[in-house]
Amino acid sequence: MKQVVEALYDGKVLIPQEPLELQPGQRVLLQVSEKPSLSADAKSDRHVLLAALWYHFSKYPPKGGQIPDEALRREGTYSEMYCRGGYSE
């Protein structure tokens, strides 16, 4: 299985920006390459698109309940796994 995903490095761990087809604790081989930067035109296009999305979702919010702030936090995710013995060498 081979997957290419964008990830964000937070200074400690890489955080995938989309779901991975992996089981918890599964070992993988990781190849890291720097993402090319966007041109000025591409950045401008991105800002226009984000403004349009912001307008749309502010005018037509998604239906359903709100997600609690605690559920959105990633800070404790990795430390909790290690504290519970989720991974072993």
Q: Where are the alpha helices (DSSP H) in 1-89?
A: 40-59, 69-72, 77-83
CB 4 within 8 A of CB 16: no
Task: Locate 27 and state its tokens.
Answer: 């070992």
For the chain of 89 residues, list the mean pLDDT of each consecutive stretch of 10: 86 89 90 80 81 86 76 63 52
- Which pLDDT belongs to residue 79? 55
| Phi, psi angle pair for 70, to nearest 5° | -60, -35
